[in-house]
Structure 1
Amino acid sequence: MKNNRTLSLCRWVGGKYSQQKEIINELPSRDDIDLYIEPFIGAGSVFFNLRPKKAIISDTNPELIATYRAIKNSPLELIEKLKSLPNSCPKTFSEQKDLQESDEFHNLKDIDRGARLLYLQNNSFAGIWRVNKSGLYDVSFRNDDTKTNHVRQERILAMHKVLIDANTKILCADFRDVIKYSHSQPEVKKVTFLDPPYYPRSKTSNFTGYTANKFTTDDQIDLRNLALKYKQTNKMLITNSYIDQTIELYADFNQKCIGVPRSVNSDTKKRGKVNDGIFMNY
């Protein structure tokens, strides 16, 4: 895969695939980053296209983190596992989906978890990963004639290379713990990109179903406070909704408003551009 091609794990609700260039332009240059930290890694669009020299990535979604570990540590085995799963097969999709309620689920290896996530995501309606409040994957099979390619060997190997080249530490932890851990590391020039679940634009827009954990207003405030606390030692860029609440919350930060597409909505008429905010403590 050529370096000028945009790279990401998969299609992810709230992912930064379409905004990664603009976000990277607001970050310090790659040569000015000794340690890159991303506590809400998601599909990793910014991480994979920045290609940092050293990195810590994390998320609270254990299936996502198992997938990243499999890509880093066992890419060829992961590819072979994906090849063993029949393409666009409703029966296999149901079997993989139902694994989460079986006794064996929590004993699955990273390779099996990673293959399951990538298979379900690529064969699901709208190609998204979403869980319900119980943490169970709840997207249906894509009921159309589209033939998907869930293996994507070239992309897996390209992601593996970035993860290895950055000597990437992969965590499954709360953002507070990730930032605390990063500050125990010796690197001087630390840069953190934080893409948390967004502050709801309205009472009915709180769609953050890629994890079972609710991200509260207190969490939003804690994140802001950490960015202020470490202002002198860690350059932090945060993305969120660009609304009155976040404009006020990040009043002491440099701010930038960008228009971004939103394509995940059952009503196609409600898809379109919304305003996102970029908030920087530098």
Structure 2
Amino acid sequence: MKSDTLVKGKINPLVRPFLKWAGGKRQLLPEIVKYVPKLTSKHTYYEPFIGGGALLFELQPQKAVINDSNRELINCYQAIRDSLDELMEELSKDKYSNSETSYYHMRDLDRSAKKYADLSAVEKAARIIYLNKTCYNGLFRVNSQGQFNVPFGRYKNPNFLDEAVLRAVNKYLSSNTITLSNLDFQEAVKDAKKGDFIYLDPPYDPVSETASFTGYDVNGFNRHEQARLKKVFDDLTAKGCKVMMSNSCTDFILDLYKDYQETIKKVRATRSINSNALKRGKIDEVLILNYQVQDK
């Protein structure tokens, strides 16, 4: 049940993720929403690892600060909000066809610094949306040079121009007070105030030595970063913010957040994005809260 104070007005079901994203939370939403606190209209929703935006779009708060370290991703949100007609016109062009030739031509644009630099912000956003919907398994993955390197997906009829969803997301982003940023997570939440709600969905701590791929960015998100995020979690708690974090249920994470062990909720999640099909399936995850809430 959604908070009737965080969300004012009618929820539009067409406002939903426009990209498939590694670590996306759509299938876990019923579990996550149970623990979203009630907030008043003066409070702000923060999500410094926005990814596909499943929880943001489920709650549709009127005031939000959303951020991601992935510049390509935030550019997509900005293009949908600020240049929707131009973006849809771009995606309608013949060069965005469901063919291997078109796919690899578009994918390889970032192999040339000059070719990529010559693309407009709208063209860059269209490229990412197109690649995301036509690449293998809907991954966003780059190599050590920051080049998109997922192979062609061979789908029969990928919908990379979902006009209804794009228009709904545009209306939500442009008709509410939604701040978009491309910053470090610590910087993205520095203005959070007492009573604000922050949802942290970082790249997960790997469940094994061979499961360290996150597909998130060229720098990865190692345990040093997890420890830095714990410091931010503590700082937000000290300010009186309400914080929820999703992560994998590893000994490292459970030990790192042992101060919050009374408000850790274990959930079973389905991992649908993995380059190895054998590694997809049910896995334990945790929701770590800094506030008490009754299970519903």
TM-score past 0.5 threshold: yes
Q: Which of 113, 121, 128 lines up with 1:117 in the alignment?
A: 128
Residue pair 2:96, 2:130 contacting (<8 A) in 1 also: no
**Alignment partner, residue 164 of structure 1:** 174
1:92: Cα distance to partner? 1.8
For 1:212, the aligned partner's letter is: V
Is 1:80 aligned to residue 99 of structure 2? no
Partner of 1:46: 55
How many angstroms does 1:136 deviate by?
A: 1.1
Distance 1:233 1:76 in 2: 41
- Distance in 2, Cα, partners of 1:201 & 1:91: 37
Give the letter for the 1:87 counterpart.
S
Match of 1:20? 29
Partner residue, 1:147: 157
Tell me the distance in 2 between the aligned counterparts of 1:271 and 1:279: 23
Partner residue of 2:285 out of 252, 276, 282: 276
1:89 deviates by: 2.0
Structure 2: where are the runs of 5+ without partners?
1-10, 292-296
Query: Could you tell me how far apart the structure 2 residues matched to 1:266 and 1:207 are?
Result: 10
Q: Deviations over 1:47-91 (max 9, x none)?
A: 111101111111111111110100111111111111114430222
Structure 1 gap ranges (5+): none
Q: Which moved more, 1:105-114 or 1:45-54?
A: 105-114
Query: Is 2:143 the counterpart of 1:132?
Result: yes
- The answer for the alignment partner of 1:205 in structure 2 is 211
- For 1:154-183, what per-residue CA distance to the aligned partner results, in whole angstroms no more than 9, with x for missing partners? 111111122123321111111011112x23
1:240 partner SS: strand
Q: TM-score, normalised by structure 2?
A: 0.88
Please tell me the residue identity of whatever aligns with 2:147: L
8 A contact 2:14–2:164 mirrored in 1: no
Tell me the distance in 2 between the aligned counterparts of 1:197 and 1:250: 16
Report how many aligned residue pairs link the two structures.
277
Amino acid at match of 1:263: S
Q: Give the SS at the match of 2:284.
A: strand
Q: CA deviation at 1:31?
A: 4.0
164-173 or 62-71, larger mean C-alpha shift? 164-173
For residue 168 of structure 1, give the secondary structure of its aligned residue in structure 2: strand
- 1:101 maps to amino acid: R
Looking at structure 2, the residues matched to 166 and 242 of structure 1 have their Cα atoms a distance apart, in angstroms, of 35
Contact 1:81 1:115 in 2 (8 A): yes
> Hey, what's the Cα distance between the residues in 2 that align with 1:78 and 1:150?
11
Tell me, in whole angstroms, the C-alpha distance in 2 between the residues paired with 1:6 and 1:241. Answer: 27
- d(CA) in 1 for partners of 2:266, 2:117: 42
Q: Equivalent pairs: percent with the same residue?
A: 33
CA root-mean-square deviation: 1.9
Report SS of the residue matched to 1:104: helix
Q: CA separation of 1:127/1:216 partners in 2, compared to 1, >3 Å: closer, same or farther?
A: closer
> Which one-letter code corresponds to 2:55 in the other structure?
V
CA contact (8 A) 1:87 1:147 kept: no
Which residue identity lines up with residue 177 of structure 2 in the other structure?
N
Normalised to the residue count of structure 1, the TM-score between the two structures is 0.92
CA–CA separation in structure 2 for the residues paired with 1:218 and 1:261: 26
Letter in 2 for 1:194: L
